[in-house]
Structure 1
Amino acid sequence: MSKFDRRLPRMRVQPSAGGKPKRALGVQAALEWAFRVEKAQLELPPRLDADEESRGFGLEYVLIYRAVLGCKVDGGQYKMGSYTHPDAEVIAATVAGLPDSHGGIRMALRVTELARAGMTPDWMPGAVPRCVPRDIHQNRYGKRAATEVVGTARVMVRGKWRTVDVLICPVTWRPHPKQIASARRGYEDWWAALDWVRDGLVAGGMLREVEVTKVMPKARPWETS
């Protein structure tokens, strides 16, 4: 039994309609339970037209997928005879319905991969751009910044005019500010997708043994780190 499995029974619970206690999970924990513990599969619908924008299929597809509320649908070739909790399949179907405005199929796959790995997107915590030499040369005397010749100049050396090279040291930013900004936009997109999934699960009301709470990952953790 994993650490996550052992933690579930100790979480706050609410009674279900049938009197059975529900597991209260934030949306990220619910996704990890569905994909990491229950091994739910992400079954994506085919696009009707390559030129037509996909808008997902949301809760309507979940209803079809479940066929009748409370009735578990056979998972076909993916299940290989094993059991997947019906609530986990509802969560997976909801993720598969992410609309293009929230990343569509690509974001659904991203959310699923992170949930299976029990990870949060890398928003590069603590990253600070630093100005460093673009290239470093190393020889037997050690390391030194690479330089480039950009011209020549006439200088007086010991009473004589000499022509010398004008050197510069090309520099760059590491990590580059654009790299940090891109990583944090990716985190924000993931967060927005989780928010959409949470709202869909709550509005759908089809989870029988899991209660998705309002708990969310930090929206912009770099602002409070």
Structure 2
Amino acid sequence: MNLAVAHQGAFADPKRAVGAAVQAPRTGKLEVSALELIEWAFQREKVGLDFDEIERETGASPGFGMEWVLIEQARLGVKGRIQGGGSSPRHHDADMVAASLACLPETYGGRRMAVMIAELARAGEVPDWMGGAVPACEPVDWRGSKHGRYAVREVCRVPGLRWPADQVAGRDNGYWCPVTYPVDARMIAAARRRYLDWRGAIHHLQLIFQMACHLTSFTVSNSLPPRAPWKGA
């Protein structure tokens, strides 16, 4: 199971537009969610993240938070050259998205989270929260016979267990079935923690877009990804 990403259908929102379908209006402003705006910037406008160039342009390291963005966002909007996928000028709002993401504070995951958000946004995906997964214990291998399918077993040679090899009493004693845990509670918990961290970063960026960025074509709504999709919430 891929623990990195899951398709956007993991939480289908009939009102949510995937980023590539969002278009900047010619006049006025379009209301979008923070996630829609990020996906629009990375999918349609082809922005990227160049942390070194942002640092050169502003003289400050990314990760300074909202106050730093408030001071620098106007200058970034004119001078910043966030690495993109083409030669044509990118939309001002897309550069604001990339700059804000590149300045994500360490409290919200810093550069590592910024890269994760960018990659997911570019693919139109969300973190895999392992929906429907339950802890499982399975035999390491199986064998077939005329009587059906059975777990592969072997002689237990670990000292101190119930039937060490030197105390085998009968034909069927002294064997065990090696098992594996393809999914365990720790894996599920880690995947959901990763999702919650991602959502927390999206929430922070939502506030940045609403309060610190002078967007010219969009307004950002209060809509966020579900808090706990594994609970239907």
Shorter-chain TM band: 0.7 to 0.9
2:54–2:80: 8 Å Cα contact kept in structure 1? no
| Match for residue 188 of structure 1 among 187, 190, 196 | 196
Letter in 2 for 1:28: L
* Coordinate RMSD, CA, aligned: 3.3
* From 207, 211, 220, the counterpart of 1:212: 220
Deviation at 1:172, TM superposition (A): 3.2
Contact 2:54 2:81 in 1 (8 A): no
Equivalent position of 1:67 in the other structure: 75
Structure that is richer in strand per residue: 1
Q: Deviations over 1:118-147 (max 9, x none)?
A: 111111111112222133346898753121
* Residue 144 (structure 1) aligns with: 150
2:50 aligned residue: 43
CA deviation after TM superposition for structure 1 residue 192, in Å: 0.7
1:194 Cα deviation after fit: 0.4
Q: Residue deviations 1:13-39, cap 9 Å, x none? A: 9xxxxxx42111101111000111111
Higher-Rg member (1/2): 1
Quote the Cα distance in structure 2 between the aligned partners of 1:77 and 1:182. 32
Quote the residue 2:38 is aligned against.
Answer: 31
| Residue in structure 2 matched with residue 125 of structure 1 by the alignment | 131
Secondary structure, counterpart of 1:72 in structure 2 = helix
Indicate how the Cα distance of structure 1 residues 140 and 217 shifts in structure 2: closer, same or farther if over 3 A, else same: same
SS in 2 for 1:132: strand
CA 1:177 to 1:194, structure 2 compared with 1: closer, same or farther past 3 Å?
A: same
In structure 2, which of residues 6, 29, 40 is the aligned counterpart of residue 22 of structure 1? Answer: 29
Unaligned runs of 5+ in 2: 1-16, 56-60, 157-162
> 1:223 corresponds to which residue?
231
After TM superposition, where is structure 1 displaced by more than 6 Å over at least 4 residues in a row?
139-142
- Could you tell me how far apart the structure 2 residues matched to 1:80 and 1:4 are? 18
Residues 80 and 46 (structure 1), Cα distance of their counterparts in 2 relative to 1, 3 Å cut = closer
- Asked if structure 1 preserves the Cα contact closer than 8 Å seen for 2:53 and 2:82, the reply is no
Q: Deviation of residue 72 (structure 1)? A: 3.5
Equivalent in 101, 115, 123 of residue 95 of structure 1: 101
Q: CA deviation at 1:46?
A: 7.8
C-alpha contact 1:32 1:118 (8 A) present in aligned 2: yes
- Say if 1:55 and 1:100, in contact at 8 Å, map to a contact too: no
The two structures have a TM-score, normalised by structure 2, of 0.73
Number of residue pairs matched by the alignment: 202
Report the alpha carbon displacement of residue 178 of structure 1 after superposing the two structures with TM.
1.5
Q: Quick check: 2:34–2:209 contact (8 Å CA) kept in 1? A: no
CA distance in 2, matches of 1:47, 1:7: 26
**Unmatched tracts of structure 1, length 5 or more:** 14-19, 49-53, 155-161
What percent identity do the matched residue pairs reach? 33
